[in-house]
Amino acid sequence: MKEVIEETRLNNGLTILTDRMSGVRSATLGFFFRVGSRQEPLELNGISHFIEHTVFKGTAKRSALDIAIETDRLGGNLDAFTSHEETGFAIKVIDDQLANAFDLIADMLANPRFDKADLESEQRVIIEEMKMVEDSPEEHLGDLFNEAVFGSHPLGLSIAGTPKTVKSFSPERTRQYHEQVFNPSNLVIAAAGNVEHSQVVDLAAQFFSSQVKKDNSTTSPVPTLAAPILITLNPNLEQAHLIISTPLVSGTDERRYAADLLGGIMGGGTSSRLWQKIREERGLAYSVGSSAIMYQDCGMFSIFAGTSPDQVGEVVDLSIAELRDVAKNGVTEAELDLAKQQTVSSILLGLEDSAGRAATLAQSELIHGRQISVEEALEKINAVAVADIHALASENFRTEKAAFAVLGDLKGLEIERERLSIG
């Protein structure tokens, strides 16, 4: 299914991208802001996530119930998310409902009410969300691990903030931050499916053209990744959850294609090294894998697993052995070819879904400032050689760079640096 991508950039900084897909009746519309928890001042930690929640509480012309009813009437699922580096809102609807969907989301984002009672109610909701994360071992360990690795850098802070910061988000403070950063200067609108570029541009101009461009760029320094060994006790857990990580390249590095393939070879599927060695051959874990986590200026290679507390040491040893082997010997042509086939298939199958294509439009713009065609991506993937994978692993899979964290009923478990010896 061929891409027909068009773009328009308004004088106020707003970028509009469309990808027309023939032969479909769906249309996905997304609003993506170049701002997440990473751009927040320390005292406002969590305010982007808070705004993501509270724009659903009503506008000058719609109540929260109106928004809910209208969303259901559109037949779509209105998703919203906040990450460290972006905040997004997206809905998938039938093509003839695109204008109505645009009107709904644009009104929420441009004209939120930020009523005091509504904000206080949502503060309680978000604090309950924090408790839910603490009750989810994998998510809780991820927060603890990020804090240990990134320290006081914004990437080490919780996206949701803390109870203290969230309770401080008054209507005035919330409105001021919303006006400062949640505006067209930081906004990318992406639509894919049976859409007309001119219609989306007209709708965007209707809602946002009156707003002027603002100099609201905020940056945080490139983080220095620590290599902690973190053991957190929780006697109420049946399983122990662990993470092993090393630094990796950023999402803007040309080696990102090799990094993704390395993640797939190590733990990206049922044929991967970690899955076969830890789950299939020894039955030590139900869930085990690895991934390449890439931000705009740094990255991490991360191994994760859940296992019985008395098996943590064995899982660590097997994982480190695989890191050591790839750092020393690299991967085989067969492994790399399989990872390429898996990645290419995922990309091509994603072309059939308007939601995936809208997200791809936005990510290319947010991260790279341009569109990366499917042809270019496939060419870069197929150009990765075993030598590229080996170089990446030998540079980053090193003992002094390895970080480790585990959460569970650990009964005196000790993990020394020597046990993480990669080379």
Structure tokens given for 349: 């199958």
Active-site residue set: 52
Q: Mean pLDDT, to the nearest integer, of 229-250?
A: 95
Does the pLDDT at position 3 exceed 80?
no
What is the dihedral sign for C-alpha 56, 58, 62, 66?
A: positive
pTM of the model: 0.93
Distance (Å, rounded) from C-alpha 381 to C-alpha 386?
Answer: 12
- Cβ atoms of 295 and 366 closer than 8 Å: no
Distance (Å, rounded) from C-alpha 47 to C-alpha 135?
Answer: 23
- Cβ atoms of 210 and 36 closer than 8 Å: no
- Cβ atoms of 25 and 180 closer than 8 Å: no
Is the CATH number of domain 229-420 3.40.50.720? Answer: no
The DSSP symbol for 44 reads G
Binned at pLDDT 50, 70 and 90, residue 356 comes out as very high
CA angle (154 as vertex; 151, 160 as ends), nearest 5: 110
Distance (Å, rounded) from C-alpha 315 to C-alpha 357?
Answer: 38
Distance (Å, rounded) from C-alpha 150 to C-alpha 146?
Answer: 6
39-77 pLDDT, tens digit each: 999 999 999 999 999 999 999 999 999 999 999 999 878
Distance (Å, rounded) from C-alpha 326 to C-alpha 317?
Answer: 14
R_g of the chain, CA atoms, integer Å: 23
pLDDT on residue 236: 92
Domain chopping of the chain, boundaries: 5-208, 229-420
Q: Mean pLDDT, to the nearest integer, of 109-115?
A: 96
Is the CATH number of domain 5-208 3.30.830.10? Answer: yes
372-399 pLDDT, tens digit each: 999 999 999 999 999 999 999 999 999 9
Q: Provide the Cα torsion 64, 70, 75, 80; round to 10°.
A: -40
* CA–centroid distance for 137 within its chain: 19
pLDDT on residue 77: 82
Structure tokens given for 286: 């139900």
pLDDT on residue 413: 85
| CATH topology match: 5-208 vs 229-420 | yes
- Residue 379 has a CB neighbour count (10 Å cut-off) of 11
